[in-house]
Every structure is written in C-alpha cells, then in structure tokens.
Structure 1
C-alpha cells in the first residue's frame, strides 16, 4: 500500500515539536521577571514596606516638638481687665524627662496676682523647666509602646508581602504550565491531523487503484474526522490558556499585555530541583522558623508583650514631678542671673485608681491573647510540617510518574513504528495502525500531563515552605 510511505515521512513531525519561524520562546523565568517588575498585585505587595515606614513615622509623631500659643483679652466699660499672651515649646523625648519652655506677657488692671508680671520688664516673663514621672510611665509609657509596636510592624508587613507575592507567582507558574500543556497538545493534534489527512488521501487513491477496500476509506475518514475534533478542542484549550496567562502580563506603564500568536513555551533547567531527603529536612527547619504565617504570629506575640509591659506599668500610681525656673526679670539689655532659690515653680501630681479593675482587666485580656497566639503557633507549625511532608511525597511521586509515563510513551512509539513496519510487510492493516496511533497519542498526552503536574509541584514546594519569591536563594542568605 502507498499509505506506508506517507506515514514514514510524517512520523518525525508527529513525534517532534516544530517551531514556527520568527516565533518567540518564553520561559517561565521570563514571565516571572516581567511579573516581578510590573504585576499590579506584586506592586501592591511591595507597598507593605511603605505602609510600615508610614506607620512608624506616624507613631514617632508623638515625639515631635510642639509649639502652643494663646492670647486672651478682656475689656469692660473702657477698662482693660487683662491681656494675656502665653507661649510654650514642649520637646517630648524618648526618656521620660520632657523639657518645656514658656514665655508670658501679661498685663491688666484686674489681672490675677499669680499671673502678674512687672511693668518695668514690659510685662514679659520666661519659664524653663522639665517634668519627670517617677511612678507610672518611668520605664515605659503609651507613646514608647506605640513606637516599639510600629517598629515590629515592619516584620508583619514583610511577611504579608512575601505571602502575597508568592501566591501570585504560584498562580502564574500554574497558568504557564497549563499553557505549556495546551501548546504541546495543540502541536500534537496538529501533527496527527496532518497524518490523518494524508492517510485518507492515500487510502482513497489506493481504493481507486483497487489496492484498498472501501472499508479502509471509511476507517480513514472517521479517523480524520476524529483528529479534526481533537484539534478543535486543543485549539480552544490553547486560546483559553493564553488568555489565562495574559492576565499576569503587564507593561511598566501598567498596560495589559497579550501573548503574541508566535510565542511558545519552553521547558528549561532552573533552580527548582527536587531536593534530597536531607535537603528537604533543611527546608522544613527553615520553614518552621521563617514561614510568613509564623512570622506574622511571632510579630503579633512581640507586640502583645510590649503592650503587656505598659499594662503592668499602669498598675503603678501616677507620680509626676515638675520644676520650672522663672528667669525674670529680663529686658532688652539681656538676662539677669537666675534666682534659683526664689524664682521657680515646683509641682507634684499624684493619682491612683482605688480598685484598678480597668488595668487588671487589660492585663488579663492581653494574657489570653498571648495564649491564643501560642496555641495558634503550635497548630500552625504542626500543620506546616505535615503539609510539607505531603507536598514533598507528592513531588517525588510525580517525578517518578513523569519518568514512567515518558518511558511508556517511548514504548508506544516503538509499537507504532513496528505497526508501520508490519503494514509495509503486508502483515497488518489500517485498522490496527489506527489503534496503535491512538494509544501512542494517548501515551504522549499522559506523559505531557504528568510532566506538567510535576513542574507545578516543583513550584508548590517552595510556596509551602514560604521561600521569598519561590527562590531557594533565601536558604543561603
């Protein structure tokens, strides 16, 4: 039969994957590089660092120096009762000793004697002093607590950023390998349909010469129609996979990009190799200390510990001392020597709640929250360890299955080639050839599906470990 010649001619095209001229090869590394630079979700994730900086700046604002001024005048029936102009500069510090400078200008017929300033000094007076808590607030106060918590927030933001970026990259990797599978199936069905078309044409030609039965032409036509159906399905799957991957492609200006019709995926060696058993144990140890979920819980625990310090400090009574030197009088010629013994203001403030129920309640609530965090961390560690064991086992199994399906595909190819040889020798027919061809195509698809599942799992493992950007580089830093 003349059919045998065209099958032998097209077999290399069927078993290999030709490349379209002027096409562009895109590896997953190329897609990752583009996504890391321009993907909106990854850009959003990187804003977590800016948020942490803004949060720290906000809380540090409580230590900003503060200028206060007020001016009050009272006139009644043509009499100026008083005119008071008060100014103050407060300089909060990290240590509880807070300086304060006050400048007064007070005058009037009915001015409170306490606010009186001599007219010989143009009614001006200056006071400079400090305040110091020696009870509640000496070792930690609310503003220092908030700043410390804001500094810890950077660890929380970093963990959240890693989680968001890793999730996005994992989604991209799955979309890429779906595209890879759809593209290879498209090439496979495209080659198969060409074979079926040529077989149909040659069978019809042989039938015209009386070398083939009518049933052979019917069989060849049915096979060709089946290949057309498979090709249309593969073409639709390829289009859908391209659209799914294009969702993650963005330009630097934030413009959505699309895969060109000439682009095609490639499988390349990468750092995402299957680790050995000892290497996997290293991954588990790293994850149990650095996984983003555990980092978030650890940061929350540290923030609660800082808050608890302040809660316990609140049990102390408020006992504040203040001293201000009244540097008066002064004039345009300069200041006179301060009178340390006579010109000063001294204050002592004391207060304490009788039952301290509010303070004790805060301590108890905080203790409960800390226990909840500890329980959650224990559960997270156990879940993480078990999940990593499961993922690693699945990865190794998929590696074995991918190799086995590849070997099976090569075996079916040999059977297909043997059937062609039998057909050439007159010991087979078109029906048997189609059966072997169907098995070979099915084996090729299963091998591709196993390979793609294995490739997806290679990226699933670093995602489960929590490695930043799904890169093993974090292990060596």
Structure 2
C-alpha cells in the first residue's frame, strides 16, 4: 500500500506541474487592443460613428441645387391645345434665400394667356427672399445644425460603448489574473505538502517522527488536492469568459497566460480624472448635445412667431433678345409678395414655451449627471488608494508569516514543535498570499472603474473613431 501511495503522490506532483498553462503572456494593454480591434461591440461603435457622418450628409442635402423640368401637353381631335415646358435650376442658400434661373417655352391654340411667351422661349433669373420669418433661422440651416448635433450624440454613444466594453473587459481580465495566481499557489503548495509528507513518512518509518505526524501531513496533501481541482475549474471558467472578449482568430487562449508581474499602473491625480470627465464623459456630452439641439428648436420656435413675408423677383427676357439685357435693369420682370400671420399665434407660442421647459429639464439632468459622475470618480479613486495601502501591508504580513513559519520549522527540527503547528503557520501564510492575490485583482478592477467613471478609457480613442 505504501508503494501505491507513493506512486499516486508522484502522479499528483506531475499533474500539478502541468496544470498551469505555458505560453506567451497577455498584458492588460495588449488585451485592450485585441478588444478594440476585434470585438463586435467595438466594430458596432465604429458603425455608430459612420451613421453620424451620414446624418450630417443627409442634412447638407437640403442645400443641394435642384434641376427641375416640367412638361405638360394636350392634344385633342388634331388640335394642339397647349404645350407648356418649364426648366429651371434652383439653388438654396444658408440664409434661406433661393436663387433661380430657367427657360420657359409654351405653345398651343388654347394656351392660357399668362403662359404666353415669345416663339423662341423665355429666359428668366430671379431671387426669393424671406424678409420676415426664416431669413436667419429656418428649417434648412437649423436642420443642418441639428444634424451636426445628432452626429456628436452618436459619436458620444460610440464612446459610451467603448467605455462600458473596456470596463467589462477589465473586470474579466483581473478575474482571469486572480484565478491563475491562485492556481499557481495551489500547485506550488500541493508540491510542497507532498514532498513534506513523503519526508515525514520516511522519518516515521525510521522512528524519527511520530506516526500521527504523517497522518497530519497526508490530510494537508488531500486538502490541497481538492484546492487544486477547484482552482483549475475557476481558471478554466475565467478563460472561457476571456474568450468572450478575444475575437482575434490568431489568439489561442490555450497558449497564453496573464502577465503575473503586478504593477500599480499609471495613476493620475484625482483632479485630472475629474477634469477629463467634465470635458469628455460621453454621458455628459450627450446631455449637452441634446441641450444644444433644444436650443436650436427654441430659435426656430421663436422665429416662427414672426410673420411670413416673402419677396419674389424674376428678371425675364425673350430668347431672341440680346444677352446684354441680362446685366442691366429692365422693365421685363415677374414679381410678387407673400404675407401670412396667424392672429393669435397660439400654436407658435405654445411650441416656444414647450421648448423652454425641455431646456430647463435638460439643465437639471445635466447638473444631476455631473454630480453623479464627479462622486463616482472620487469614490473609485478613494477605493483604489485604500487598496494600494492594503497591498503594501499585506506583503508585510506575508513576510512576517514567513518569519514565523521558518521559526516553527527550526523548532520542529529541534524536537520542540509538531507538524500540526507547522501546518498551522503554513496555512496562515498561504491564506495571506491568496488574500494578496485578491487585493491585487481588486486594485486592477478599481483602477478600471476610475478609468470608466472618468471616461479615461476613451482618451486614446477620441481621434481614432472619428
């Protein structure tokens, strides 16, 4: 039975040695790059930015020149009742002034007298000016500005996708890191406990150690065998979660492991995080963009209270006339005035008041969100500072446990202690090492949280996704 037990323990040692994956290390920054370049949500964010560009392109279409050609004819019982043909180019401008130039040619036995033109046709060029409503603020230029606001909103939506994605990726990475570190601890301790058991057992057979000590050592081996199996499952599950974020076909999770060299990372003063959040946080910028859009609605609503007063003037000349007439003043023209104004303007005043109420609501939302973002930055920064101090103290605790353990081993060698006391010291030291792993992982998550709460994750993306 003793030979069988030794064989089984030798197998345990070999299994523990190969339980840790071997391969290239994957640091947190490298992991972020893989997520940014290959994750479906990151690609979706790029599409959101492109959608914003298309929105602006659509709004600019309101200022595109238009070529229009209208042709109407009526033929009945061999008679040419009429042929009316009008072709023109219309050019809208930002000031809502429309320029128009065209050619008109009409003919027929029963042509409407107002459509009568010279046989060679009629050229005309004119302008339409809204003297009242719509000269400065109108649906066209407001629409373009709102398109730009929508573009900024969609861009901030894309930044928010990146920000949340990196927060989730950060959490999973440090879970992966923690389970791998615990796997290393379990593996090394199982090897240590196994070697200790074999030594104590050999001493018990030679009469140098008590038999009960070998039983105590065997219990430790069995305990760490179970611990190793649990840490292996935890690590496998964390690796599967990592695969939810790594979509690069060239990255094989079976061949990589986390970077086990823990570092504090790049940390700035808390004011830097707050200032960055106030300038770049996607949630705050989205609310500000919506307020800008509401301000544009307010301007348009205020403009609609004005009366409609449009002036139209078209210079006309026959097709057989000299072109020099086109450059001078002539009595040949077509003009008109359009006036309209609702007597009570209840609809327009209600729209303006409604927009002002929405602006007040937006200001309140922005103020609340600003306070919320600021408090989250301070909260996460405070937690990160505390964890940093705890990590320093935890390392000192481990060093002190190491001193106690070495002292207990010396006493055991002098016959003044027992394997039970050694295991007790050892277990406390191991528990302290596992606690250090948890603190390091928690610190990484806290640093990720402050990068998320301040939107610092998008610092390197602001110019890349545009």
TM over 0.5: yes
Distance between the aligned counterparts of 1:267 and 1:465, measured in 2? Answer: 26
- Contact map agreement 2:298 2:352 (CA 8 A) in 1: yes
1:350 paired with 2:339, answer yes
- The alpha-carbon distance between structure 1 residues 139 and 51, as it changes in their structure 2 partners (threshold 3 A), is same
Match of 2:6 in 1: none
Within-5 A mapping of 1:202-281: 202-251=199-248, 255=249, 257-267=251-261, 269=263, 272-273=266-267, 275=268, 279-281=269-271
- The alpha-carbon distance between structure 1 residues 452 and 336, as it changes in their structure 2 partners (threshold 3 A), is closer
With structure 2 as the length reference, what TM-score do the two structures score?
0.89
- Contact map agreement 1:463 1:470 (CA 8 A) in 2: no
- The alpha-carbon distance between structure 1 residues 442 and 434, as it changes in their structure 2 partners (threshold 3 A), is same
1:420 paired with 2:409, answer yes
Unaligned runs of 5+ residues in structure 1 are 1-12
- Contact map agreement 1:328 1:343 (CA 8 A) in 2: no
Match of 1:60 in 2: 60
Distance between the aligned counterparts of 1:342 and 1:222, measured in 2? Answer: 114
User: 1:181: how far off?
Assistant: 0.8
Distance between the aligned counterparts of 1:456 and 1:151, measured in 2? Answer: 36
Note the aligned Cα RMSD (angstroms): 2.6
Distance between the aligned counterparts of 1:350 and 1:404, measured in 2? Answer: 82
Match of 2:143 in 1: 146
Aligned length: 447
Match of 1:303 in 2: 293
Match of 2:368 in 1: 379
Choose from 314, 327, 337 the match for 2:325: 337
Moved more, 142-151 or 227-236: 142-151
Within-5 A mapping of 1:371-410: 371-410=360-399
Unaligned runs of 5+ residues in structure 2 are 1-12
- The alpha-carbon distance between structure 1 residues 20 and 389, as it changes in their structure 2 partners (threshold 3 A), is closer
User: 1:472: how far off?
Assistant: 12
- The alpha-carbon distance between structure 1 residues 311 and 85, as it changes in their structure 2 partners (threshold 3 A), is same
1:314 paired with 2:299, answer no
Q: Deviations over 1:277-310 (max 9, x none)?
A: xx32343244334422221111111111111111
Distance between the aligned counterparts of 1:470 and 1:458, measured in 2? Answer: 15
User: 1:226: how far off?
Assistant: 0.5
Distance between the aligned counterparts of 1:469 and 1:216, measured in 2? Answer: 58
SS in 2 for 1:330: coil
- The alpha-carbon distance between structure 1 residues 212 and 470, as it changes in their structure 2 partners (threshold 3 A), is farther
1:359 paired with 2:356, answer no
Choose from 307, 318, 322 the match for 1:328: 318
Match of 1:292 in 2: 282
Q: Deviations over 1:66-112 (max 9, x none)?
A: 11122212112221111122212111111222111122221111110
Match of 1:178 in 2: 175
Match of 2:5 in 1: none
Moved more, 209-218 or 175-184: 209-218
Within-5 A mapping of 1:160-171: 160-171=157-168
Distance between the aligned counterparts of 1:369 and 1:210, measured in 2? Answer: 89
- The alpha-carbon distance between structure 1 residues 473 and 144, as it changes in their structure 2 partners (threshold 3 A), is closer
Q: Deviations over 1:121-146 (max 9, x none)?
A: 2xx22211110000001111001001
Match of 1:460 in 2: 449
User: 1:470: how far off?
Assistant: 5.9
SS in 2 for 1:355: coil
Match of 1:26 in 2: 26
Moved more, 376-385 or 360-369: 376-385
User: 1:374: how far off?
Assistant: 0.8
SS in 1 for 2:318: coil
